[in-house]
């Protein structure tokens, strides 16, 4: 895959099959490095931009494809959007192959739209969980989110609305 040649990502970790990081069975890529430093962050080891390991985008694609049960990929962190430009060719290739794409960010959609180099990745996503983790807003009742201020955005509808944030139905209460 030529577009992926020579692209490396700084990765904090990988979970090859997860049911808690988005809808369905997903491959989760945790990107290393985060400037947000939320109080109460569960993964402070992902903050260091010199930490983690370098993994080639080609490697990640072949690992995703190696599991026929996986239909979605989640970019988590750390802060995936600090590596947005390096992620775009991989995300575009996964999208082309029919995978459902989701990302978490400590930035809000509004901040990402103003942040350099993030637009292309936003164009490719199906879901975005946005905003920092706020300890005072923490709840265990939320699906895929740690705190109430975070939003699960339906990105197709958000793009269609001219980038006004549109909440996905997954924001609703967790069924028990």
Q: How far is CA 29 from the centre of its chain?
A: 8
Q: Does 52 bind ligand SF4 (CB under 6 A)?
A: no
CA–CA dist 35, 99 (Å, integer) = 29
Select 31 or 61, whichever has its Cβ closest to ligand SF4: 31
Instruction: Tell me the residue nearest to ligand SF4 as measured from the CB.
Output: 106
CA–CA dist 54, 42 (Å, integer) = 22
Q: Does 111 bind ligand SF4 (CB under 6 A)?
A: no
Select 77 or 89, whichever has its Cβ closest to ligand SF4: 77
CB 71 → ligand SF4: shortest distance, Å? Answer: 25
Q: Does 77 bind ligand SF4 (CB under 6 A)?
A: yes
Would you tell me which residues interact with ligand SF4 (CB under 6 A)?
34, 36-38, 41, 43, 46, 77-79, 106, 132-133
């Amino acid at each position: 895959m030529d577009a992926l040649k020579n692209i490396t990502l700084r990765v904090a970790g990988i979970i090859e099959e997860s049911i808690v990081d988005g809808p369905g069975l997903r491959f989760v890529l945790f990107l290393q490095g985060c400037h947000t430093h939320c109080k109460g962050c569960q993964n402070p080891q992902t903050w260091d931009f010199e930490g983690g390991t370098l993994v080639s985008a080609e490697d990640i694609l072949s690992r995703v494809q190696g599991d026929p049960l996986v239909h979605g990929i989640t970019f988590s962190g750390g802060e995936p959007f600090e590596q947005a430009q390096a992620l775009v060719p991989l995300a575009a290739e996964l999208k082309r192959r029919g995978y459902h794409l989701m990302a978490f960010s400590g930035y809000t959609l509004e901040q990402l739209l103003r942040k350099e180099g993030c637009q292309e990745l936003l164009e490719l996503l199906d879901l975005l969980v946005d905003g920092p983790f706020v300890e005072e807003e923490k709840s265990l009742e939320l699906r895929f989110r740690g705190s109430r201020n975070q939003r699960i955005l339906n990105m197709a509808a958000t793009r269609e609305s001219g980038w006004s944030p549109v909440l996905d139905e997954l924001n609703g209460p967790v069924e028990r």
